[in-house]
Amino acid sequence: MSDQNRKIPKHIAIIMDGNGRWAKQRLQPRFMGHRAGVKAVEGIVKRCAQLGVEVLSLFAFSSENWRRPGKEVSLLMELFSHALNNQVKKLHDNNIKLQIVGDISGFSASLQKQIKQAHELTQHNTGLILNIAANYGGRWDITQSVRQLAEQVARGELAAEDISEEMINNHLTTAALPEPDLFIRTGGEQRVSNFLLWQMAYTEFYFTDVLWPEFDSGQLNKAIDSFSCRERRFGRTSEQLQDDSDA
């Protein structure tokens, strides 16, 4: 499919999985896979910006990933910090807005500071929004949203019966973003692993066995081609959609 025939998703969300297995295949430590994974991120960010994707959400570290061996966790934190150091200026020069969603308070003070600085530097940029989910869990996000509403109820500012889906949505960490149109998971696993649970109610899912360090623009094109061929009905019938497009 040529770029003109592709339907470009406004928001692509990716679970970048398979770094460990990629390294293992090469008889290298898992960490080398994570390093190669950062390289793959660079390529995909560039391609998304070029295609005019509005938001790219990447799952970098889940709230469950703390369960990994301590050594791997600390190497991942170091890598995150390095990547911010090396990439933020480049992202800024390319008009990319970087935001990190997740429970930032779980990170070291210096990493929190880096995250804040990256956010401040790039927040007025008008190009691609690069949304990195770090110490993120879909259940955590829904819980913290509902907690904010519960506090409003406790203060007498909101009646419980007035709580709506829209309000829950507006207190999620992704409130300002459109919902993901296309979800991609590399590495062969077919599950959501507590990623954007609420937000992906109507997202199109695409799974590939390709390991994340090998996911390049050709692979992204394949995912977008698959997305371009789908009919998104949102509960309606195919005929209704045809009638609407004829009108």
Residues that bind ligand IPE (CB under 6 A): 15-21, 59-62, 64-65, 76, 187, 189, 191, 193
Short-list 26, 13, 9, CA closest to 213: 26
Q: Is 103 one of the annotated active-site residues of the chain?
A: no
Q: Which residue, 62 or 199, has its beta carbon nearer to ligand IPE?
A: 62
CA gap 134, 112 in Å, rounded: 11
Closest distance of CB 215 from Mg ion, Å: 14
- By CB under 5 A, residue 17 contacts Mg ion: yes
Q: Is 65 one of the annotated active-site residues of the chain?
A: yes
Closest distance of CB 8 from ligand IPE, Å: 24
Short-list 165, 221, 237, CA closest to 47: 221
Short-list 122, 162, 119, 164, CA closest to 145: 164
Closest distance of CB 18 from ligand IPE, Å: 4
- By CB under 5 A, residue 62 contacts Mg ion: no
Q: Which residue, 17 or 141, has its beta carbon nearer to Mg ion?
A: 17
Short-list 85, 96, 92, CA closest to 50: 96
Helix (H, G, I), strand (E, B) or coil at 181: coil
Residue of 3, 5, 19, 65 marked catalytic: 65
CA gap 97, 115 in Å, rounded: 12
Interacting span for Mg ion (CB under 5 A) from 12-20, 44-52, 80-88, 137-145: 12-20
Short-list 135, 202, 192, CA closest to 165: 202
- By CB under 5 A, residue 181 contacts Mg ion: no
Q: Which residue is nearest to ligand IPE (CB)?
A: 20
- Check if the beta carbon of residue 159 is closer than 8 Å to that of residue 153: yes
**Using CB under 5 A as the criterion, which residues of the chain lie in contact with Mg ion when the complex forms?**
17
Active site (catalytic) residues: 17, 65
